[in-house]
Amino acid sequence: MLSYEPPPRSVTLPKERKWELVSALQKSARRADKPMALKLVSAIDNMPEEYGYFSRRLCVIACEDVGPADDELATFVVACSNIFPPKRTGSKTYDIFCFLVESLCDLPARSRIYCSMSSVGSMVLQGNTPELSAADQQIVDAILKQKAAMHSPINAWEEWRSKNDWRAERMLRFVGLRLPTETFKVQLTIPAYRMLFDLPSYCYDMHTRVGQEVLSRLMRGACGATVIKNFVYRSKVRSALKVLGEALFFVEGARLEGEVLYPSLSRLEQLLIAHQHGLSLNEFLALQCLVLDALNAGKIDQIREEVLHKALTRTEGTQPQETTWQDGHELGRAANEPLFTASLLNHGPSDTARTRKSDPDRSIAKRTPASGDNPEIQQELFLPEG
């Protein structure tokens, strides 16, 4: 790190766009898009008063989106936040941020496993869960046991994790936890994006004001998205905006380059999310298909552009930028692949899952009658064991 030379600063953004900026940074790291991620770090450098916040976000990214794919790096990023706080590093903070972001993007694999564990643990503790299978309960028990262990650390390693757990939004506690089932490495097509007002379109998610307005318009059937409006009405969805945001997250924001996952854990997370909103798992997957179709057709980005144009052209000095599809991403490919195939998300390992692990190029899931992207066979997904 002593000999590391950071790239030149190339982007500036107004401080008011902090939330969109951090969203873009996290998702570019998920996609292993190093050029984009480093440009975004240079925008962070224009907000020195927010260095502490961005330092913590890097800890979250390391645990939430890398996790067990590289426990050492995830722990290292958290340790750097502790040892090199921005108040101490001053002008070198930019160098440190760039070094860590490059390290996160250069990995051949990443994983949301710790994020899924945290999500499942929180939803279970809130109550109102569906009936769980024995395999599901085994996962829940392992997660809750790990959470409880943080309250009574028995060695220096556990004590350090407990002390620094807050830096990664309580996901550092899961470092080292392994479930008694096999993981798989998958590679689904990552959706194309457009540059909208100086940031990639995928950053405007449910955690941003622009993203909330986009979801509201989507729910009302804007830009021809009437099938989504009809689905929400027919299904009597609870907290429709939130479940739409979750569906968009799974088909766009959560896509990782070289993802490692536990299919059973991913299934359980989505089952609990669906139940919270009054949906069955199959219905939630069907909603994801509808949202994916709208994304692929350009409807969601069209709404994003309209909302941004209205919101940002009011800000002095902000002008609409040309929107283009980025090199290396093909328009329309995202809709040909579900988040997971039926065979991959069943409890046990399958031929499809083994193929994904050994030869990802042969295992691209197309929209076929056997694909989880087809709503007609949703009832066949996630069959219980036995």
User: What letter represents residue 246's amino acid?
Assistant: E
Determine the 3-state secondary structure of 226 from DSSP. helix
In 3-state terms the chain splits into helix, strand, coil percentages (rounded to 5) of: 60, 5, 35
**Total-model pTM:** 0.82
The span from the first CA to the last CA of the chain, in angstroms, equals 52
DSSP label at residue 322: -
The CATH number of the domain holding residue 47 is 1.20.272.10
Position 372 pLDDT exceeds 80: no
71-82 pLDDT, tens digit each: 999 999 999 999
Q: Say if 373 falls within a structural domain.
A: yes
pLDDT value of residue 1: 60
Domain boundary among 105, 126, 144: 105
- Looking at residue 91, its pLDDT comes to 87
**In the numeric block, which tokens belong to residue 96?**
């440190």
Q: pLDDT tens for residues 322-339?
A: 444 454 333 333 333 333
Model pLDDT, residue 64? 98
- 320 vs 239, higher pLDDT: 239
The pLDDT assigned to 311 comes to 84
What is the pairing mode between strands 199-200 and 259-261?
Answer: unpaired
- Mean pLDDT over residues 52-65, rounded? 97
Report the phi/psi class of residue 204: left, alpha or beta, with left for phi > 0 and alpha for psi in -120 to 50: beta
347 and 201, same domain (yes or no): yes
Across the range 216-242, mean pLDDT stands at 93
More confident residue, 351 or 74: 74
Does the residue 50 lie in any domain?
yes
**Which two structure tokens, joined as six digits, stand for 307?**
């909302």
- Compute the average pLDDT of residues 188-216: 94
Q: Contact 200/169 with Cβ under 8 angstroms? A: no
Both 300 and 206 in a single domain?
A: yes
312: containing domain: 186-380
- How many folded domains does the chain comprise? 2
